[in-house]
Amino acid sequence: MPDDMARPLVRGGGGSRHLEASLSEPGAPVVGILGTGDFSRSLARRLVASGYQVVVGSRNPKRLSALFPEEAEVMSQLEAAGHADLVFVAVFPEHHSTLSQLKPALAGKTLVDVSNGLQINRDGPSNAQQLADLFPESFVVKGFNTISAWTLQTGPRDGSRQVFLCSDHHKAKSAVTQLCRRMGFVPVDMGFLSSSLEIENIPFYLFPSWHIPILCTLALFIFFYLYNFTRDVLHPYITERKSVFYKMPIETVNVTLPSVALVMLALVYLPGLSASYLQLWRGTKYSLFPNWLDRWLTRRKQFGLCSFLCAVLHAVYSLSLPMRKSARYKLLTAAFKQVKQGVEDSWVDEEVWRMELYLSVGIMALGLLSLLAVTSLPSVANAVNWREFSFIQSTLGYGALFMATLHTLLFGWDRAFSWDQYRFYLPPTFLLVLILPLGALLGRLALVLPCVALRLRQIRRGWERSQYIRFTLTDGGCHDRLEDASAV
Q: Which residues 176-215 are close enough to bind a second copy by CB under 8 A?
A: 177, 182-184, 186, 188-192, 194-195, 198, 202-207
Taking CB under 8 A as the criterion, the residue among 214, 215, 218, 321 binding a second copy is 321
Per CB under 8 A, 264 contacts a second copy: no
Bridge partners of 165, per DSSP, are 189
Per CB under 8 A, 452 contacts a second copy: no
Residue 41, amino acid: R
Taking CB under 8 A as the criterion, the residue among 335, 435, 449, 453 binding a second copy is 335
Q: Helices 429-448 and 253-282 sit at what angle, rounded to 10 degrees? A: 30
Per CB under 8 A, 162 contacts a second copy: yes
Local structure of residue 288 (DSSP, 8 states): P
**By CB under 8 A, what part of segment 50-109 binds a second copy?**
50-51, 57-60, 67, 77, 90-92, 94-96, 98-99
Taking CB under 8 A as the criterion, the residue among 344, 414, 451, 466 binding a second copy is 344
Q: Report the C-alpha gap between 303 and 299 in whole angstroms.
A: 6
Residue with smaller CB distance to a second copy, 107 or 337: 337
Cα–Cα separations (whole angstroms), residue 367 to 258, 262, 396, 400: 15, 15, 10, 8
CA nearest to 231, candidates 436, 407, 434, 432: 432
Q: Considering the complex, what minimum distance in angstroms separates the CB of residue 364 from a second copy?
A: 8
Four-CA torsion 249, 254, 256, 261, nearest 10 degrees: 140
Is residue 262 helix, strand or coil?
helix
Q: Considering the complex, what minimum distance in angstroms separates the CB of residue 47 from a second copy?
A: 10
Taking CB under 8 A as the criterion, the residue among 218, 219, 316, 453 binding a second copy is 316
Residue with smaller CB distance to a second copy, 387 or 465: 387
Cα–Cα separations (whole angstroms), residue 225 to 320, 417, 474: 19, 23, 49
Per CB under 8 A, 119 contacts a second copy: yes
Residue with smaller CB distance to a second copy, 246 or 424: 246
Give me the 416-445 binding string for a second copy, x by CB under 8 A, dash otherwise.
------------------------------
Task: Name the maximum alpha-carbon separation found in the chain.
Answer: 103
Q: Report the C-alpha gap between 32 and 83 in whole angstroms.
A: 7
Residue with smaller CB distance to a second copy, 171 or 424: 171
| 400 CB-near residues (< 8 Å, 6+ apart) | 265, 365, 368, 369, 372
Judge whether 176 and 205 are in contact, CB under 8 Å: no
Q: Where are the beta strands (DSSP E) in 179-294?
A: 186-189
Task: Using the rule CB under 8 A, give the single segment among 134-142, 226-234, 291-299, 414-422 that binds a second copy.
Answer: 291-299
Q: Considering the complex, what minimum distance in angstroms separates the CB of residue 236 from a second copy?
A: 15
**By CB under 8 A, what part of segment 356-385 binds a second copy?**
356-357, 359-360, 363, 366-367, 372, 376-380, 382-385
